Amino acid sequence: MFLYCVLPRRTVAAAIFGLSIFEPARGEDMQLALPSLDAEEIFGGRAEISNGFDVTGTSWSAYGTAVFAPFGPLTDDGLRLKLYGSYGTWSYDTRRVYCPLTRAEKKKLTGVSLDAECDALANRQLSADERKTVSQKIAPFGLQLDGDQMYHVARHDVTRYDIAVMPGFHVSWPDLALKAYLGPAMETRTNTAFDAEKVLDGSYWGAKTAIESWMAISSSFWLTVDGTYFTATDGYTASLRFGYQPLSWLTLGPEMAAFGDKDDESARAGGFLRFTLGRIETTFSGGMSSDYGGTTSAYGQAGVYTRF
């Protein structure tokens, strides 16, 4: 699910275009023009936007990021402001033993406690007719009788979105660039069915920090290592890419990532392709991911980055 979390782990895409209209003045050799709306002129190389989406066998997510340099171009060292938002959803199934749960947990799962049925299973061997009667009684509550245990079976559909506003600072050397951010963030998570083994369900406010690094190894090879941490959920992401640029417009290489929080952890490994056309970079990646819940599946990711 990170995120990268992956999870791991759920965006607004922005387009800015220029418009210039000229109309000859009556009887005069002159032009009247609207103010230029060219993005590069407006921002002067001080803004960048990236957005994309991520898909695995049990989840999908989308994200958007905008970074602004208030006092100079992004190529210069200095202050930054990062705005981030994402939305995602994933699904999983649970099959848990019912009777050992507390009465409060039982009622939260099914609305009833069914203590008499649990006691009967624990104290004696039920006849075939008794087992049939118990199975029919517990079925409407999502329970199944298997051997001498009752199991609660549920399908969980989880929705998650988060936003963050993080001031930061950028510093660079000839072959190394570092960015550090820290600011307030909010995450909301909802689960369609109660899960006694999960603690995250609701809205959470806290501080989020992000570290981004880029290092040139040679004229054709580079390395990036990024990470984030959110205090309210102990949510984290960590990612690494090793890039090889054989052509000015093409970069490729391996990637690895890990995601997690108080409830789950996920990891992935694969490769990426990046195509550069002017100020626009388009990246595709894919590989294998260990999804939330312990399953393994393929993942695919696509993202677009541009600078104004």
User: Could you report the per-residue pLDDT of 228-262, keeping only the tens digit for each?
Assistant: 999 999 999 999 999 999 999 999 999 999 999 99
Please report the pLDDT score of residue 272 as a whole number: 98
The C-alpha atoms of residue 253 and residue 166 are separated, in whole angstroms, by: 29
Determine the length of the chain: 308
User: For residue 79, is it within any domain?
Assistant: yes
Q: What integer pLDDT is reported at residue 40 of this predicted model?
A: 56
Phi and psi dihedrals of 20, rounded to 5?
A: -140, 120
Q: Report the pLDDT value the prediction gives residue 249, as an integer from 0 to 100.
A: 97
Residue 69: which CATH number? 2.40.160.40
Q: Which domain holds residue 246?
A: 37-93+158-307
| CB 138, CB 153: distance < 8 Å | no
Looking at the domain assignment, is residue 69 inside a domain? yes
Q: Which residues, including other chains, have CB under 8 Å from residue 252's CB and lie 6 or more apart?
A: 243, 244, 246, 271, 272, 273, 274
Which pLDDT score, from 0 to 100, does residue 116 have? 82
Does 135 reside within a domain? Answer: no
**Which parts of the chain sit beneath pLDDT 50?**
1-33, 36-37
- Inside any domain, residue 101: no
The answer to the question of residue 146 being in a domain is no
| Residue 16 and residue 308 in contact, taking contact as beta carbons nearer than 8 Å | yes
pLDDT for the residue numbered 39 = 53
Q: How many domains is the chain built from? A: 1
Is residue 301 situated within a structural domain? yes
Which residue, among 261, 298, 291, has the nearest Cα to 91 in the 3D structure? 291
